[in-house]
């Protein structure tokens, strides 16, 4: 609808670098000439709906397909932005969230010392299992984002070291329930 607006930007860039996005174009955005460390498939998408003088905005972080990056870009970027198992758990928590209070929280999640409030670092109080099971029931696309991210991490020794054993232990059961529900 004409009252629906959309903007997107790589989460490695500030929000003021957002571009208008056409939801029917099949392309989230074109961000050219970025250093490899800023190239990421994690994109913030902001949707704004305005109707009858009331404006509502929501933001999500999506893991989309990147076209035109260097062949080892994903591994290089993952090494740059996820430096610990705790940071990985926080990123997964955000990817599985139905609503984000704001995209700034992604930066706080990846740099625990910079956040405030409930996103501040210093503990692993993220009930990730609950979010995973909720995603099985309500957000299969979010679960697919997590699956792709974990597959990328498992492709290298460095990445495997970031995946907590507890997550590795429950992941097959979560995917089995997901596959069963998809039938």
DSSP string, 80-145: HH--SHHHHHHHHHHHT-SSBS-THHHHHHHSGGG--GGG-SS-----HHHHHHHHHHH-HHHHHH
Q: How far apart are CA 178 and CA 135, in angstroms?
A: 9
pLDDT, tens digit, for every residue of 76-129?
777 777 888 988 988 888 888 755 444 455 455 545 444 443 333 334 555 788
Count structural domains, the chain: 1
Alpha-carbon gap, residue 86 to 164, rounded angstroms? 8
What is the residue-level pLDDT of the chain in tens, covering all 183 positions?
Answer: 558 889 999 888 888 888 888 777 777 678 888 887 787 888 899 999 988 888 999 998 988 888 887 887 767 777 777 888 988 988 888 888 755 444 455 455 545 444 443 333 334 555 788 888 888 988 888 888 899 999 988 988 988 999 999 999 999 999 999 999 888
Contact 21, 45 (CB under 8 A): yes
- At 164 the pLDDT is 92
Q: Determine the angle formed by the axes of helices 140-154 and 85-95, rounding to 10 degrees.
A: 160
Residue 125 lies in domain: 4-182
DSSP class of 163: S
Three-state SS for 35?
Answer: coil
Instruction: Compute the distance between CA of residue 31 and CA of residue 34 in angstroms, rounded to an integer.
Output: 7
Helix axes 128-138, 85-95, angle to 10 degrees: 30
């Amino acid at each position: 609808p004409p009252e629906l607006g959309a903007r997107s930007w790589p989460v490695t860039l500030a929000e003021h670098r957002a571009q208008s996005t056409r939801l029917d174009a099949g392309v989230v955005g074109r961000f050219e000439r970025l250093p490899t460390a800023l190239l990421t498939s994690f994109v913030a998408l902001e949707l704004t709906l305005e109707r009858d003088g009331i404006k509502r905005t929501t933001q999500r972080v999506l893991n989309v397909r990147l076209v035109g990056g260097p062949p080892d870009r994903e591994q290089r970027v993952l090494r740059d932005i996820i430096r610990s198992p705790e940071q990985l758990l926080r990123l997964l928590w955000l990817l599985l969230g139905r609503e984000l209070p704001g995209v700034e929280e992604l930066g706080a999640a990846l740099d625990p010392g910079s956040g405030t409030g409930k996103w501040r670092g210093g503990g692993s109080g993220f009930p990730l299992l609950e979010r995973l099971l909720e995603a099985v029931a309500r957000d299969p696309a979010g679960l697919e984002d997590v699956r792709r991210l974990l597959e990328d991490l498992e492709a290298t020794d460095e990445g495997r070291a970031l995946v907590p054993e507890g997550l590795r232990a429950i992941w097959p059961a979560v995917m089995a329930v997901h596959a069963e529900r998809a039938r």
